[in-house]
């Protein structure tokens, strides 16, 4: 379900004009699901797939620890690739209704980098 959700999220983002740079990029056991460019922004997308919204809404699975890990890995990605773009953090939630029925919710600027 998770892998299929990521594939659907990539297709959705491409259809919206995003340029996908990387998928499942890892740094020190921290993973970025999708790294893309939209306009003049580097967009780091966390994908959450759920079979039922009653269990846990996908946004509820992103706590402060997860956000810090995403931000840390993003900084490493920027440093390694020498990227000079504004960064935005989005979430794409894939909610499965039935086997091949789903809905996608794209939350732009779902969170900001915490100040330590």
**pTM score above 0.85:** yes
Q: Give me the helices (H) in 1-114, please.
A: 2-15, 64-81
Q: How confident is the model at residue 100, as a pLDDT?
A: 75
Quote the tokens at residue 91.
């979430």
- What are the pLDDT digits (tens) for 7-60? 999 999 999 999 999 999 999 999 999 999 999 999 999 999 877 656 566 677
Specify whether the CB–CB gap between 37 and 28 falls below 8 A. no
DSSP state of 51: S
Angle at 46 between CA 1 and CA 18, to 5 degrees: 100
Q: How confident is the model at residue 56, as a pLDDT?
A: 63
- What are the pLDDT digits (tens) for 102-116? 889 999 999 888 776
């Amino acid at each position: 379900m998770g892998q299929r959700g990521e594939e659907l999220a990539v297709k959705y983002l491409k259809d919206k004009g995003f340029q996908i740079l990387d998928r499942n990029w890892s740094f020190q056991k921290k993973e970025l699901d999708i790294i893309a460019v939209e306009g003049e922004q580097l967009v780091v997308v966390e994908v959450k797939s759920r079979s039922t919204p009653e269990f846990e809404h996908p946004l509820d699975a992103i706590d402060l620890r997860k956000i810090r890990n995403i931000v840390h890995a993003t900084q490493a990605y920027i440093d390694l690739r020498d990227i000079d773009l504004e960064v935005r953090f989005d979430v794409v939630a894939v909610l499965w209704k039935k086997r091949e029925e789903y809905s996608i919710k794209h939350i732009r600027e779902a969170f900001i980098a915490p100040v330590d």
